Every structure is written in C-alpha cells, then in structure tokens.
Amino acid sequence: MKNIIAKIGAAALALTLAIPGALGAEEEAEHTVHYPMHKPHELDWSFAGPFGKYDKAQLQRGLKVYANVCAACHSLELVAFRNLEELGYTEEQVKAFAANYEVEDGPNQDGEMFTRTAIASDYFPSPYENANQAAASNNGAVPPDLSLIAKARGVERGFPLFVFDIFTQYAEGGPDYIYSLLTGYEDEVPAHVEVQDGLYYNPYFISGAALAMAPPLYGDDVEFDDGTPATIEQEAQDVAAFLMWAAEPHLVERKEMGFRVMIFLVLFSAFLYIAKRQVWSRVEH
C-alpha cells in the first residue's frame, strides 16, 4: 500500500513539474520568430503572367534609381553597358552613360594596371576594390552584387499557391521581395525582437530581423525624366523591375517561345490522336 501511495505521489510531482515547462514551451513557441516576419507585398507587374512584357519606361526609371542610389554600394557585374540599348536607349546615349564610369584595365606595357573611362562593351564596375574594403565600409557586411538578386531572392508562398503558380507562371517573388524590403523599414521594434547596434529593423528581411543596410530610399532621391513622382514606393517598384530585367533580360522571348511550344504540343497531340484513330480503325476489336 505504501508503495502504491509513493508511486502516485511521484507521478503527481512529476506532472506538477512538467506543467510549467509545457506552458513555457508554448509561450516560447508564440514568440518564436520566423523570417521574414511579414510576407512580401504582391504587386501587379507588367511582366507578370504568360504574356507579360517589360515596361521600358519603368526600366529606365529603375536604372536611374540604381545609378544614383544603389550603385554607391552594390555592383552589377553581369550587366554590360551595351545591354542598356534593350531599354530603349540609343547607341550614343549608352556611350555617354558609360563615360560616367571608370574601369580598371591592363596590364599596360609596363605591367601595371590602370583606370580608364568605360565604354559600351564594359560591364558595370564594383564600387569597391575588393570584398574586404566593402565590408570595412559597411559595418562588416559585404553588399551583394545585384545582377541576379531578383532571381536569387524570393519568399516561398506555400501550399496551395505554389500549385497555381505552375499555371500562372508566377515568377515575381524576387521583385515583390525587393520592393517590400526597400519600403519595409520600421522605427518601432517589437518587444520580443532584439536588434543589434548598427543594424536596421525590417520585418521583410529574409535572413533576420534587421540588416546592415540603412534605408536607401527617402523619396525624391532622383528626378525622373518622364515626370513620374519620385515617391519611395515608386522608386522601389521601378528599381525592382529593373533588377528583374538585369537578372532575366530575355524573359519576354522565353515566354513567347514557351507559348509557341505549348501551341505546338497541343496540335501535335491532336495529330497523334487522329493518326491513332486512323490506324486502329482498320483493326478488328
């Protein structure tokens, strides 16, 4: 009898000790932070869908935002100046734009590297000589190259949206993320979120609660040639579209080719079905 009472007491004590721990785990789960803390905004892009196309006026505005704001820290090393002709610029305009940059060349006859004015065949140069210099200038963080950032960054939309994405050809996750990140800085930090000194809170950042990049856009950072108001939202959307073009400049051609392939497959399937009916119609069943 005493053994039974002792076992019951031990079980009750264990249950008593376990309940606070379980409650603590539930509270901890409630405050567990998953990144990004906010889902990116889903915008309407001209290049969305199976028949989407780039808006060249928007791409030109985005180039201006990149050149005047982003280029101070971020490189675009996989894009050549001559590629800008696809945005509607003339060859002379591209040459004049490239002349604003200096690139390293060489070695010369003395075996030394030298700098010269960029030409159309050159690629966008990096603002830093090396990664160590970039890190030293940015609180220890190396600004990423933006050539493929619109394809490399994107938040998974989860089930069941990714099923429909197959048919809608949703590929705007990168631009949605870039826009949300550029417009998502907040001054007030939630109590359960810890932000280190020198970092900036942004609930749309995919790798943490804060990042080393200060808010790059403040509105009226540039003056658009077509008269479009240079709000923070407009600048963010335009530069996100430009970076999408930089990452996939042949998107329109790819979609057109895909549409032709789909039409071919439909017609080919129809011909195969007719041929099958024609062959098997002479066979007794």
Secondary structure tally for the chain: helices H, strands E:
9, 4
What is the rounded distance in angstroms from the CA atom of residue 41 to the CA atom of residue 37?
12
Q: Are 67 and 215 in contact (CB under 8 A)?
A: no
Q: Are 223 and 231 in contact (CB under 8 A)?
A: no
Mean pLDDT across the chain:
88
What is the reported pLDDT for 5? Answer: 44
What is the reported pLDDT for 32? Answer: 61
Q: Provide the pLDDT confidence category of residue 49 given band limits of 50, 70 and 90.
A: confident
What pLDDT digit, counting tens, does each position of 33-47 carry? 678 999 999 999 999
- The pLDDT > 70 percentage for the chain reads 88
**What's the pTM value of the predicted model, to 2 decimals?**
0.83
Alpha helices for 31-148 (secondary structure H): 56-68, 91-98, 131-136
Residue that has been written with the tokens 């830093």 in this structure: 128
Checking if the pLDDT of 116 tops 70, the result is yes
Checking if the pLDDT of 28 tops 80, the result is no
SS3 call for 1: coil
Average pLDDT over residues 106-132: 93
Checking if the pLDDT of 3 tops 80, the result is no
Cα dihedral sign, 205-210-212-218 = positive
Q: Are 210 and 195 in contact (CB under 8 A)?
A: yes
What pLDDT digit, counting tens, does each position of 140-166 carry? 899 999 999 999 987 877 778 878 877
Of 109-118, 183-192, 276-285, which range is least confident? 276-285
Cα dihedral sign, 117-119-123-124 = positive
Average pLDDT over residues 72-80: 96
List, in order, residues 6 or more apart from 93 with CB less than 8 Å away: 84
Average pLDDT over residues 222-242: 97
- The pairing of beta strand 210-211 with beta strand 102-105: unpaired
Q: Provide the pLDDT confidence category of residue 225 given band limits of 50, 70 and 90.
A: very high
Extract the runs of DSSP E, i.e. beta strands, from 45-192: 102-105, 114-117
The CA-based dihedral angle spanning residues 200, 73, 216, 138, taken in that order and rounded to the nearest 10 degrees:
20
Pick from 240, 231, 222: which is nearest to 179 by CA?
240
